[in-house]
Structure 1
Amino acid sequence: MIDFSEIIWRLKFISVVFSMFFGFIFIYSMVRFRQLVSLKIQMNKIINPPEAAHGGALQSKWEEIMRHMDSVREAEWKFAIVEADKLVDDILKSSGYLGDTMGERLMNIEKGQLLSLDGLWEAHKIRNKLVHDTNYFLRYAEARRAVMLYEAALKELNALG
């Protein structure tokens, strides 16, 4: 007579072994993929630095953003934050960071890749509040902080001197 319990036990054992093997292969592949993406980003930064890609236009855009911050009008500060966010997003795209939106690009950056990542998230969240809540009251100190966080990221990305 055939012992089905023995056959089922062996099939379970083989299934577990295969699952562990393919799980290991999957995890190893994901780790290697992330390493390759990180290497691609680093190589892209070396081959195509942001300042070289945009020339002096980037510096003049930043100076225009800072002129908006010198205003006494809240609308000008909001405009400066939105423009600074766009500028950083353009630099992230040209540096090879992956993602369809700024938020996705920030999520794809590992902590060690960009020291100003937390500050960039903070500034981007302020920008999102401005864009999605038209009644949001922006204090000058908050606007100044957001712009300074964007500036720190741009300097770290070698986009500003």
Structure 2
Amino acid sequence: MKIKTKPKNPSAWSQLLFVERNIARVFIGLLLLYFFGQLFIHFVYSFMGGQGFNAESLRVFLEAVDIVWRKHLGGFFTVLNVLLFIFLLYCYKQAWKFRMQLKLYPPPSDLEAQPKPIKKDPKVMQHWRDIVLRANTGQQEKMRSAIIEADALVDHHLKNIGLEGEHMGDRLKQIRAFQVKSLDNLWKAHRLRNDIAHTPGYKVTARQAERALVAYRDFLKEMKAF
């Protein structure tokens, strides 16, 4: 098995290679500059008919260059510049997706409360059945109490999974909609529960009760309560 040996002083070695590379680049650049410079001088000399540089020949040369540019090359390079500019904008837009983001704080998913795993309690399912049976009577008082009790059951589950807060609303705010699909409907059901609890004689329709209980049920199922 071959073992690759490393230079005794890696920093000095890499620095030496860096200097040599730069010297080679400068040397190659000077050679290219000299080469193209000679080609240009030879072209001008030939264009002048071998007479060398003088004021009149230089004027004729510049006029010829201007004519060639305006008639043949100007439009082409103008279009080329516009296309290159559009291409650069496109590349910038594509590269922007992969930009490095400076993170001063942990991402939101790390800051949000992470519910701790909890075992399913069969009593929760039985309690839910009792709530549904009470609401199915269609009586106003029992529909209201079913909504309030379903709301309390959800709040109890939120506490069990480790969400803290003074009120149920505080605990719900720790959950994001992209985490739980049924969260928006649960908020509507919770607001209905608050209207019932804080408004004496609040009337609940069978349709409202059904929507609220479906929201509570979907949330509990999504949270694996039963």
Residue 11 of structure 1 is matched in structure 2 by none
Selected match of 1:120 from 171, 181, 186: 186
| Structure 1 residue 28 corresponds to structure 2 residue 104 | yes
Q: How far apart are the structure 2 equivalents of 1:93 and 1:28?
A: 31
* CA positional deviation for 1:144: 0.9
2:156 counterpart residue number: 90
Larger Rg: 2
**Change over 3 Å in CA distance of 1:107–1:126 after alignment to 2:** same
Q: Give the number of the structure with larger relative contact order, counting CA–CA contacts within 8 Å between residues 6 or more apart.
A: 1
1:116·1:152 contact (CA, 8 Å) conserved in 2?
Answer: yes
Q: In structure 2, how many angstroms separate the alpha carbons of the residues matched to 1:95 and 1:131?
A: 25
Q: Tell me if the contact between 1:99 and 1:108 (Cα under 8 Å) persists in the aligned partners.
A: no
Give the number of equivalent residue pairs: 125
Deviation at 1:97, TM superposition (A): 2.0
Instruction: Note the residue ranges of structure 2 that are not aligned, 5 or more in a row.
Output: 1-101
- Structure 1 runs of 4+ aligned residues shifted over 4 Å read none
Match of 1:142 in 2: 208
The RMSD of aligned alpha carbons is: 1.9
| Distance in 1 (alpha carbons) for counterparts of 2:176 and 2:188 | 16
Deviates more, 1:150-159 or 1:103-112: 103-112
Q: For 1:108 and 1:146, locate their aligned partners in 2 and report how far apart those are by CA, in whole Å.
A: 21
Unmatched runs of 5 consecutive residues or more in structure 1: 1-24
Of residues 130, 153, 161, the one that matches 2:219 is: 153
Q: Does 1:103 align with 2:169?
A: yes
Q: 1:61 aligns with which of 127, 131, 135?
A: 127
Using the TM superposition, give the Cα deviation of residue 34 of structure 1 relative to its aligned residue in structure 2, in angstroms: 5.4
Looking at secondary structure, tell me which structure has more helix per residue: 1
The residue that corresponds to 1:79 in the other structure is 145
TM-score, length-scaled by structure 1: 0.71
Partner of 1:132: 198
Q: Distance in 2 between matches of 1:117 and 1:33?
A: 18
**Change over 3 Å in CA distance of 1:98–1:34 after alignment to 2:** farther
Q: Which amino acid aligns with 1:71?
A: T
Shift of 1:146: 0.3
CA distance 1:92–1:115, shift in 2 (3 Å): same
Residue 32 of structure 1, CA deviation: 4.8
Give the residue type in structure 1 aligned to 2:135. M
